[in-house]
Amino acid sequence: MPNGRLRIAIQRMVPFIGYHHVLMILIMCSWILSALLLAGCTSSSSTTSSIYLLSITYHDRSDSSGAASIIFGNASTGGSVTVRAGYLGICARAADQEPWICASGASGLGMAFAGSGTERDPLDALQWAQRFKSDVVFPGFVFGAIALSALAFFGLSTFPGWHEERDTRTGSDIVVKPFPSRPVSRACLFLLAFASLFLMTSALWQHVAAATAASIISTSTQGYLSGSVGPAAAVLVWLALAFTAVAGIGILVMILSIHLLDGLTDD
């Protein structure tokens, strides 16, 4: 019986879901993905620690020859730390079996690995990650995209929805939906366009920055430190961009459709 009532309630509600409600859902999906991206490496949970921009690990190259390789090989003896850097935090662990330890900066993590009897981070992987987080990547574009899409979300919430009115000629109830405000529609379009631009800039920036940093770290340490780009963070930022862009395109299609209908009615 409760399932039947729920089904009937949903069937009554579906016809009143407007086009702008779908666009608002797309914006909410973009918010969730952006929030997950920013939350990467801010806590020790398996979910957030797996969302990172750059990962730095020690690599055994004991078979390498050359004076520089020997020097780095001797210096990196005992190094076993794996470090991950996100927009707002850094995670590290000393071995694959140990849990991740996360903090907002490298100083707190360095104290966590100190006093273990052996130097676990002789090549300063934590400092490499700290410099990457503080000097290379910039979360402001993601925050800006969230703010702009929030304004667009508020604008879309003002759009009129389906409602019943009484026809003065026939006396019967009819379902109507007025056209939304054109200035508000254009404002939402521009807001989502700039939000998409911000997310695209952030996506390209974080990918190029992480790939470049990984190459520089590997070259500077003769390969005893290796870096890799975080796949989860890349997927999240591009999906957030896709949802925001689709919402913007949806508003553009709506504006053009209303303009076309106005032209047909004028004729």
Q: Which pLDDT tens digit goes with each residue over 9-39?
A: 545 544 556 788 899 999 999 999 999 999 9
Q: Distances in Å between the alpha carbon of 115 and those of 74, 95, 112, 120, 121?
A: 20, 16, 8, 10, 12
Distance CA 71, CA 133 (A): 28
Q: Is the pLDDT of residue 85 over 60?
A: yes
pLDDT > 90: what percent of the chain? 44
Query: What does pLDDT average to over the chain?
Result: 81
Least confident of 58-67, 150-159, 182-191, 209-218: 58-67
Q: What is the average per-residue pLDDT within 208-236?
A: 91
Q: In the prediction, which pLDDT does 200 show?
A: 97
Query: Between 86 and 111, whose confidence is greater?
Result: 86
Q: What is the pLDDT of residues 246-259, one digit of tens each?
A: 999 999 998 888 87
pLDDT in tens, 126-158: 889 999 999 999 999 999 999 999 999 999 888
Rounded to a whole number, what is the largest CA-CA distance in the chain? 95
Q: Give ∠ CA 51-55-59 in degrees, rounded to 5.
A: 150
What is this structure's pTM? 0.82
High-pLDDT (> 70) share of the chain, %: 72
Q: Name the more confident of 53 and 124.
A: 53
- Residue 1 has what pLDDT? 46
pLDDT at 147: 96
- Check residue 118 and give its pLDDT: 47
Summarize pLDDT for 38-75 with one digit per residue, the tens.
999 998 888 899 999 999 988 765 555 554 444 445 44
Nearest CA among 80, 60, 68 for reference residue 222: 68
Q: How many CA atoms lie within 13 A of 190 on its CB side?
A: 6
Residue 117 pLDDT > 50: no
As a whole number, mean pLDDT of residues 159-185 equals 66
Specify the range with the lowest mean pLDDT, choosing from 45-54, 120-129, 180-189.
120-129
In order of their start, the domains of the chain are: 20-266 (1.20.140.150)
